[in-house]
Amino acid sequence: MSESLKSKLAARREARGQAPLLPLKSISQTGKDGEITSDALGSSSSYDGKRTLQKTSIMEKRVHVLPKKTRRSESDELDDLLNTKSAKELESKRSLEEIDKLLGTPSIKEKNNAQKFKSNDGLKIFCDFETRRRCPDPDCQKIHFKKIIKPHTQEHLGDCSFLNNCFNHDSCKYVHYEIEKDSKEETSSVDDPESGSPVKPKVTSGMNEPQWINCDIRHMDLTTLGKYSVIMADPPWDIHMELPYGTMKDEEMRNLRIQDLSDDGLFFLWVTGRAMELGRELLRLWGYTWVDEITWVKINQLQRLIRTGRTGHWLNHGKEHCLVGIKGSPPNLNRGLDCDVLVAEVRDTSHKPDEIYGIIERLAPGTRKLELFGRMHNIQPNWVTVGNQLEGVHIHDEELVRSFRARYPDGHVRRPK
């Protein structure tokens, strides 16, 4: 190795903080472990020279291995110094964590509002195994079903497609179900499908008693009702199918003066498949901007997805849509609390899920609410319900009573002559 190459190698090792190499002349020719001399380097063949250089390199590694602690480069030490947080940074991080914790802790007002929306402990969970016989847990406290076996029932045919909504219970040969008595007693707050009337909704503190007016909306002066922040309607759309109630033509819907019922607020409009575009047109006509949509996914008595519905010309409909419109700038809306998908059981024809009232109340709590085309199962606290299938007139709001009596002294809404 030339002197210039040796000096360059030594300078590079010194720059890296490595120990200098031992000179070749200090290695004896007759040393142990195959040590070789500098003379041997010069006199060996090219093959032997390569082997000798390899041995020398190995020996250098054995002699000059440095401790791990000294092999860390300056760049590694610099990185450690740069990544180490200063006292100021640590203090700032602690302050941010404390602020985040304070912001995440609900205030007394927020806790009180959450308490208003809390369930009255009337909810029970359905068992995934459906019947007590299939359930592996003998102490299961969930709701179970039991089969209804009549003389004409043929169990090998399986479950009825319509279950508790079957129109032919007395002759249907398929299997039907009912809730076990012990489960039913625990869930008395839920509508009983075997009873003729719905359970009256409970009125919690801070909410007004339900109000309703029996009338044909087509013939009523809607200005009599006053102004509302939330309106919901489930119109009897003409869907070209046989229905147990009268329907309204599209032009009759367009002629309704819904725009007189609100200056700022929300509108929830239930639509069928055929009326989707008509519903959006009506929202625009009544002064609302379509902003959202709630999808009701229908399930049956056994909490399974509906597969054989009674609606739909081409495919069985397993869902319904509720268009959401907004007018003006309604204040104090609680945005982002609920999802736009509602999964609930199918009941009577055109009987919408009660969960929609909870969604609306959480979105716009404490506001005046009006439901059009409602029936007795629709009456709710904080709501005024109007429809031609209600029982008489039941109103107690002073302003509404005064306005209604002034317009209809005998309490009956008649078709104008």
Please write the tens of the pLDDT for every residue from 311-336.
677 788 889 999 999 999 999 899 88
Same-domain pairing of 243 and 337:
yes
Contact indicator for 302, 177 with CB cutoff of 8 Å: yes
Picking from 135, 152, 186, the residue at the C-terminal end of a domain is 186
Look at the chain and count its residues.
417
27 burial via Cβ count (<10 Å: 0-12, 13-18, 19+): middle
- The Cα 390–Cα 375 span in angstroms is 5
Quick check: is 106 in a domain?
no
Name residues whose C-beta falls within 8 Å of residue 88's C-beta, 6 or more positions apart in sequence: none
Same-domain pairing of 255 and 378:
yes
- The Cα 324–Cα 342 span in angstroms is 14
Look up the domain containing 33 and give its range: 3-71
Same-domain pairing of 321 and 403:
yes
Q: Determine the pLDDT at residue 63.
A: 45
Same-domain pairing of 322 and 382:
yes
Q: Determine the pLDDT at residue 11.
A: 73
Instruction: Evaluate if residue 53 carries a pLDDT over 60.
Output: no
178-230 pLDDT, tens per residue? 998 865 444 444 444 444 444 455 555 567 899 999 999 999 999 999 999 99
Q: Cα torsion for 322, 323, 324, 325, to the nearest 10°?
A: -150
The separation between the first and the last C-alpha atoms of the chain, rounded to the nearest angstrom, is 122
Contact indicator for 124, 183 with CB cutoff of 8 Å: yes
Other CB atoms within 10 Å distance of the CB of residue 171: 9
**CA neighbor of 398 nearest in space, from 226, 165, 256, 272:** 226
Same-domain pairing of 178 and 238:
no
Quick check: is 281 in a domain?
yes
Same-domain pairing of 331 and 249:
yes
Quick check: is 192 in a domain?
no
Q: What mean pLDDT comes out for the span 73-78?
A: 71
Same-domain pairing of 305 and 343:
yes
Same-domain pairing of 130 and 48:
no
Q: Determine the pLDDT at residue 185.
A: 45
Same-domain pairing of 218 and 178:
no
138-189 pLDDT, tens per residue? 999 999 999 999 999 999 999 998 888 888 989 999 999 999 886 544 444 4
Quick check: is 103 in a domain?
no
286-310 pLDDT, tens per residue? 999 999 999 999 999 999 988 766 6
Quick check: is 272 in a domain?
yes
For 247, the token pair is 């329907």
Same-domain pairing of 139 and 259:
no
| Domains contained in the chain, number | 3
Same-domain pairing of 65 and 143:
no
CATH number at residue 222: 3.40.50.150
Give CA separation, 400 vs 66, 185, 381, 393, in Å. Answer: 94, 39, 16, 12
Other CB atoms within 10 Å distance of the CB of residue 184: 15
Question: In whole numbers, what is the pLDDT of the chain averaged over residues?
Answer: 80
Model confidence, pTM: 0.66
Contact indicator for 382, 361 with CB cutoff of 8 Å: yes
Same-domain pairing of 242 and 178:
no
